[in-house]
């Protein structure tokens, strides 16, 4: 399964976010997470928006959800921080839904 995590960081809290980001990324990813890519862009008055694409091992989505939550937990100390996690479908899975 693939997840997309979107986070918003207030402009005034980017240094605090960077410190936590570097600490969290020093640890190896849990084995249920194959790859985690993070991108960012300015989001106007909302601050900085981060997009996280998280690839999990097949059949380990439940375990990955717990681990993702553990990895994101330190960021909740940041005042104004927001996080949203969504499952993503690949095109081949979308076609299965449409019975194609």
Owning domain of residue 79: 2-97
**So what's the pLDDT on residue 65?**
96
CATH of the domain at 60: 3.30.70.100
pLDDT means per 10 residues in the chain (100 residues)?
96 95 94 96 93 96 96 96 93 79
Cα–Cα dist 87/85, whole Å: 7
**So what's the pLDDT on residue 88?**
93
**So what's the pLDDT on residue 69?**
97
Q: What is the pTM of this model?
A: 0.87
Among residues 20, 85, 95, the alpha carbon closest in space to that of 53 is found at 85
Strands 48-56 and 2-9, sheet pairing: antiparallel
Q: Into how many domains does the chain fold?
A: 1
């Amino acid at each position: 399964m693939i997840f997309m995590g979107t986070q918003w960081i207030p402009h005034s809290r980017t240094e605090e976010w960077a410190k936590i980001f570097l600490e969290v990324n020093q640890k190896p990813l849990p084995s249920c997470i194959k790859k985690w890519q993070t991108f960012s862009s300015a989001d106007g008055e909302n601050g900085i928006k981060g997009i996280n694409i998280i690839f999990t091992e097949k059949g380990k989505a439940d375990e990955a959800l717990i681990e993702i939550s553990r990895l994101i937990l330190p960021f909740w100390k940041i005042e104004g921080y927001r996080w949203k996690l969504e499952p993503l479908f690949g095109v081949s899975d979308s076609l299965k839904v449409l019975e194609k």
